[in-house]
C-alpha cells in the first residue's frame, strides 16, 4: 500500500525546466543593459589598471634610485607608494567589491529583467500546474532534460517577447 501511494505521489507531480540564458538572450532590454554594464566595467577596469601602472612605475623608479636617495627622501617615496597602493585597492573595492558600483549597477540594470523572467516563469508554472521548474543554465545539476518539458518559449511569450 505504501508503494502504491508513494509512486502515485511521484507521478502526481509535474516538472518542467527553463533555460534562463536562452530567455535572457531573447530579451532585447537584457542585451542593452548587459552592454551598458560591460562598458562600465571595462572603463572602471582601465582606470584601476592605470593606477596600478603608475604604482608599478613609481616602485621601479624607487628601486633603481633607492641607493642614491637620502633617508628622508626614501621615507617620503615609500609613503607615497603605500598611499598609491592603498588608493588603488580602495578604488578596486569601490568599483568591484561586494557592495561596489558594479554590484549596484547590476542590481539597477539586470535584476529587474531577471525579476520579470521569474514572474513570467511563475505564471506559466502556475497555469500549467508544475510542481518544480528547474533552470538548465547557470551550472545546474540538471544532466539531461527532454525538450518537451522546456517552457522557455512560453516564459518569453508571457513576457511579451517574440522569438525569432
Q: What angle do CA 75, 80, 82 make, to 5 degrees?
A: 95
2/62 Cα distance (integer angstroms): 79
Task: Give residue for cell 621615507.
Answer: 75
Give the tens place of pLDDT for each residue, 73-110: 999 999 999 999 999 999 999 999 999 999 999 999 99
Does this model's pTM top 0.95? My answer is: no
CATH number of 2-159: 3.30.910.20
pLDDT, residue 139, reads 62
Cα–Cα dist 56/81, whole Å: 9
Is the Cα torsion angle 114, 116, 122, 127 positive or negative in sign?
negative
The four Cα atoms 134, 138, 139, 142 give a dihedral, to 10 degrees, of 20
What is the predicted pLDDT for the residue at 5?
A: 47
Q: How far apart are CA 38 and CA 25, in angstroms?
A: 15
pLDDT digits (tens, 9 = 90+) for 112-147: 999 999 999 999 999 988 888 888 887 667 777 788
Amino acid at each position: 500500500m505504501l508503494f502504491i501511494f508513494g509512486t502515485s505521489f511521484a507521478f502526481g507531480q509535474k516538472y518542467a525546466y527553463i533555460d534562463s540564458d536562452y530567455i535572457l538572450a531573447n530579451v532585447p532590454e537584457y542585451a542593452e543593459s548587459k552592454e551598458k554594464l560591460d562598458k562600465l566595467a571595462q572603463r572602471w577596469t582601465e582606470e584601476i589598471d592605470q593606477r596600478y601602472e603608475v604604482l608599478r612605475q613609481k616602485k621601479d623608479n624607487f628601486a633603481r634610485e633607492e641607493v642614491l636617495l637620502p633617508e628622508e627622501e626614501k621615507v617620503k617615496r615609500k609613503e607615497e607608494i603605500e598611499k598609491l597602493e592603498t588608493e588603488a585597492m580602495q578604488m578596486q573595492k569601490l568599483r568591484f567589491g561586494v557592495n561596489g558600483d558594479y554590484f549596484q549597477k547590476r542590481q539597477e540594470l539586470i535584476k529587474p529583467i531577471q525579476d520579470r523572467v521569474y514572474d513570467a516563469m511563475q505564471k506559466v508554472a502556475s497555469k500549467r500546474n508544475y510542481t518544480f521548474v528547474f533552470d538548465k543554465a547557470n551550472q545546474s545539476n540538471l544532466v539531461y532534460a527532454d525538450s518537451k518539458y522546456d517552457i522557455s518559449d512560453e516564459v518569453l511569450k508571457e513576457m511579451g517577447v517574440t522569438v525569432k
